[in-house]
Amino acid sequence: MTIDLEIRQAERGDLPAIIALFANDRLGGHGDTTEPEAFGDYLSAFEEISGSPHQTLYVAILRGEVVGTFQTALLTSLPGRGSSSLVIEAVQTREILRGLGIGERMVRHAVTEARENGASKVQLTSNVVRADAHRFYERLGFERSHVGFKMRLK
């Protein structure tokens, strides 16, 4: 089934809908909330991302509504002879619309961006509890390759 989906760079007015996607994520564990007092934190992050030449926040729009989001960051590092990687972060689709191809379209958009920017690879991380997401990424051609570690500072 083909759906009429638009993927575009996020705008400030999309922020409440993006926040709601993360706040409704039961597996994420990031503590996201739609409480008004938290909006300033999200706005600051949005403005930092928007002002960066190497990061982009996207939204997927279906029938005029934000139904998905993801972020990309282009990272150049010395290993690989100075190659660049496109990192995909914060992929989220409205839960009731999963399975319609929205996530696939968003990830394929990011892969196209990587190619257009001369990146040698696309990489992402996924929470260990997201078994469905892992199968999804593998179906799209991603391979499990590393073990990730985090240290919480706040």
How many Å apart are CA 45 and CA 49, to the nearest integer?
Answer: 6
Which one is the CATH code of 5-139: 3.90.180.10, 1.20.1740.10, 3.40.120.10, 3.40.630.30?
A: 3.40.630.30
Q: What is the pLDDT of residue 29?
A: 66
Q: What is the per-residue pLDDT for 129? A: 87
pLDDT, averaged per 10 consecutive residues of the chain (154 residues), comes to 87 97 82 93 97 97 97 95 95 92 96 96 91 92 90 88
How confident is the model at residue 45, as a pLDDT?
A: 97
What sign does the dihedral 137-121-61-28 (CA atoms) show?
Answer: positive
